[in-house]
Amino acid sequence: MVVGVLVEIQNKRVDKIFDYLVPDDLKNSIKVGFRVVVPFGRMELDGFIVTIYDNYSNKDTLKSIIEIIDSEIVLNDELLLLGKEMQKITLSPLISCYQVMLPKALKAKHGKKMSIKYDIFYRLNPDKDIVVSSSSQQKIVEMLKEKEKIIRKDLLEISSSSLNTLLKNEIIIEEKMEHYRLNYSNYNFIKKELTSEQQKVVDEVIANDSNNYLLYGVTGSGKTEVYMEIIDFYLREGKTCIVLVPEISLTPQMIQRFSERFGDMIAAIHSGLSDGEKYDEWRRIVRGEASIVIGARSAIFAPLKNIGVIIMDEEHSESYKQSDSNPRYHARDIAFLRAKTHHCSIIFGSATPSLESMARALKGVYKLLELPHRVNGKSLPHVDIIDMNIASKKMKGYFSFELKNAVDKCLSRNEQVILLLNRRGYSSFITCKNCGYTFKCPNCDISLTYHKSSNTLRCHYCGYGEKVYDQCPKCSEPSLNKLGVGTQKIEEELQNIFPNSKILRMDYDTTSRKGMHEKMIEDFKNHQYDILLGTQMVAKGLDFSNVTLVGVINADTTLNIPDFRSSENTFSLLSQVAGRSGRSNKEGKVIIQTFNPDHYAIYYSSKYDYLSFYKKEMNIRKQLKYPPYFYLSIIRINGKDSNIVYQESLKIKRSLERNLDHVIILGPSVASIFRVNNIYRYQILLKYKNEEEIYFIIEKIINHYKNQSKVNVDVDFNPLQLL
């Protein structure tokens, strides 16, 4: 027997199928989709079996596979096919497409296989007469007569020696059962009576089996409730469902809502899980024990069968695109592929749909569904914009008089506050006050970021780190300025202004320990804290009924990022965070501090006027030839020798110019960070109307460079950032 194996080689575009013999003793257990260990040159590598050959001539020269890694199929037929389609649309190595589908535990180097946990139970042996010789043995037997099987630890409490004797005499028998690390036993099938607006949406969706919908519903309009009702319908039809949410809003609250309604039918996959927990969840899905998968981007690959609906909540979120490594896929495109296979519907939901999606909906490519009102019947909270050009002249710290005043009032009514520190694009650098020295990464052209908790400087690109000393390395003066605008610093100021309030700080530092995120949300919900201060984490998905004030300390950071989507991202962030206020029966309020009070993204978000924002932004995109009017692609050319990289980039550009007519070709230009990990990076940007025209040229270029070691050429179709 001969099989074709796709081997995993790090950092290489080998991407070829190699053939191996299967030794006789493994023949019966081998299947397509298993992982195996194979000899490769002098190495042993992992790989996926992608074919089993019926007839094979010339077997003699083949090597044999060494061992089979799995006992269950890792990639089923659908996923094997999906990988190939993904390879085509992203032009990335096939092996990377398969790797991205699997949980980390299944990607681990061979030898380090993930453990499966078991519980041990005992039951009476029906074939044996009961003979006991002590009172504790008697007790154990009585217990087992009453309850068919009992877990080991409960019986150990009676007497471990009696337990052993009974086992030795075969009066009781042992049974091992797999123990999943997570459980969702706490459910009660809570279901809310839907409003007529919600019901209408549900009815529309379930009336059709395969359709694409854009659900445009304001924050607090009950989208999640609608999703659950639709899922309920498909479960009754015997189908399964995928719910994608951005990692940042995959909060314990969200999982709790789903698990309260659907119990252990859900499998939730998120970064808060250990590798073991993810592995367990994944196996529950494979075995058909979970019918609803909730997770971030990669959950789109959940090995479910018979999918009834795919839901993409907060569909505008950038986290749905894998931007930093191959395969550079968008979960939306994978959803289309899977929906085609399963003949199922897709629902894209958002309070601030991406321009692309709204444009499609208005053209009728997606069916537009709307939830224009909040479930609580109240209007969206009033937004005050504070012009910091004026206000900042009268203030010392980060809080305007108006914001302080509003917090004060809110606290005096015993209500709660959420404060957003918009940190994206911002880093805490260290500079020397005396000579202006800044710390740079020795491998990358970028400043190091200061981490207060460990007192270190770190590079966020290559992982380089160094300790910080008080003296400047250049001028030797003890004058290093470590104060970035961190949440920590604002927390200190806030505590000074409101000494009696309890403040909860939520950022990457305070939530990195396992379980902390959950605990914080629970504590805030139980009003153990008055103010929740945090980064983007506090902006999305949270639902606290007692929060009546949301404050944005600095609205401008996202706006200042030099990217064509910065207005869109700012609009949606502000709309999202504003939506955390006044979600229940109390009136809410929002205060936004900004140096750009007249900017349309800020102005329209304060009026919740999505459609005006949409029109204005579409106009700008049209003028500047950006999506959704034009497609974009970036070709990235990287290598160790900057001169060679540049020369090859020029060649690529010329070849593009020769072959393409109606395409705008920009570059080659240096990437926003020219050098990362001692690799130099150039890029060429393409703007075009016709996707097919460029696809074949780019494919040719990538294939041409596939086996060259001097430069590495990748493409990112429809990139979300140009940086």
Which residues contribute to the site for ligand ADP (CB under 6 A)? 192-195, 198, 217, 219-225, 375, 543, 583
- Residue 96: count of CB within 10 angstroms of its CB: 21
Residue 532 interacts with, from Zn ion, ligand ADP, none (CB under 5-8 Å by kind): none
Q: Does 444 participate in binding Zn ion (rule CB under 5 A)?
A: yes
Which of ligand ADP, Zn ion, none is residue 3 near (CB under 5 to 8 Å by kind)?
none
Q: How far is the CB of 566 from Zn ion (least distance, A)?
A: 25
Please work out, in degrees rounded to the nearest 5, the angle formed at the alpha carbon of residue 8 by the alpha carbons of 5 and 9.
125
Please name the residues in contact with 347: beta carbons below 8 A apart, sequence gap of 6 or more.
205, 213, 215, 227, 230, 309, 310, 311, 312
CA dist 26 and 66 (Å) reads 10
Copy the structure tokens of residue 453. 């908790």
Picked from Zn ion, ligand ADP, none, the partner binding residue 375 (CB below 5 to 8 A depending on kind) is ligand ADP
Interface with Zn ion (CB under 5 A), residue from 100, 430, 459, 504: 459
For residue 198, the minimal CB distance to ligand ADP (Å) is 6
Query: Smallest gap, in angstroms, from Cβ of residue 416 to ligand ADP?
Result: 15
Of 211, 376, 443, 495, the one binding Zn ion (CB under 5 A) is 443
**Residues 274 and 281: beta-carbon distance below 8 Å:** no
Look up residue 195 and give its amino acid: T
Task: Please name the amino acid found at residue 436.
Answer: G
Nearer to ligand ADP, 375 or 446 (CB): 375
User: Locate tokens 């809502």: which residue?
Assistant: 257
Chosen from Zn ion, ligand ADP, none, partner binding at 195 (C-beta under 5 to 8 Å by type): ligand ADP
Q: Cα separation of 253 and 224, whole Å?
A: 11
Which residues, in sequence order, are bridge partners of residue 292? Answer: 241, 266
**Nearest alpha-carbon partner for 467 in 481, 456, 480, 479:** 456
d(CA 40, CA 10): 13
Q: Which is nearer to Zn ion, 441 or 457 (CB)?
A: 441
Place of tokens 């499998």: 267
Query: Is the Cβ–Cβ distance between 559 and 601 less than 8 Å?
Result: yes
The answer to whether 441 contacts Zn ion (rule: CB under 5 A) is yes
**Which residue number, 56 or 461, has a Cβ lying nearer to Zn ion?**
461
Phi, psi of 66 (to 5 degrees): -90, -50
List the alpha helices (DSSP H) in 379-418: 388-391, 401-412
Looking at beta carbons only, is 417 or 444 nearer to Zn ion?
A: 444
Cβ atoms of residues 583 and 547 within 8 Å: yes
Taking the complex as a whole, the smallest distance from the CB of residue 669 to Zn ion amounts, in Å, to: 21
Cα angle value 387/390/393 (rounded, 5°):
130
Q: Which does 464 bind (CB under 5 to 8 A by kind): Zn ion, ligand ADP, none?
A: Zn ion
Query: Minimum distance from CB of 612 to ligand ADP (Å)?
Result: 21
**Contact partner, 461, from ligand ADP, Zn ion, none, Cβ < 5-8 Å per class:** Zn ion
Residue 671 near Zn ion by CB under 5 A: no
Structural Rg of the chain based on CA atoms: 29
Q: Tell me 64's DSSP state.
A: B
Nearer to ligand ADP, 281 or 543 (CB): 543
Nearer to ligand ADP, 78 or 247 (CB): 247
Closer of 578 and 663 to ligand ADP (Cβ): 578
Binding to Zn ion (CB under 5 A): which residues in 461-500?
461-462, 464
Residue 674 binding partner per list Zn ion, ligand ADP, none, with a CB distance cut-off of 5 to 8 Å that depends on partner kind: none
User: Cβ of residue 584: shortest distance to ligand ADP, in angstroms?
Assistant: 7
Residue 217, binding choice from ligand ADP, Zn ion, none, Cβ under 5 to 8 Å by partner class: ligand ADP
Closest to ligand ADP by CB, 215 or 559: 215
- DSSP reduced 3-state for 75: coil
Across the beta sheet with 664-676, the strand order is: 664-676, 679-688, 631-639, 711-717
CB 348 within 8 A of CB 317: no
Contacted by 224, from ligand ADP, Zn ion, none: CB < 5 to 8 Å by type:
ligand ADP
Shortest spacing between CB 542 and ligand ADP, in angstroms: 9
**Cα 297 → chain centroid:** 5
d(CA 358, CA 347): 13
User: Shortest Cβ distance from residue 680 to Zn ion (Å)?
Assistant: 13
Least CB distance to ligand ADP at residue 314 (A): 9
Beta bridge partners, 172, equal: 124
| Interaction partner, residue 223 (Zn ion, ligand ADP, none; CB < 5-8 Å by kind) | ligand ADP
Return the one option of ligand ADP, Zn ion, none that residue 543 interacts with (CB less than 5 to 8 A, by type).
Answer: ligand ADP
Contacting positions for Zn ion (CB under 5 A) = 441, 443-444, 459, 461-462, 464
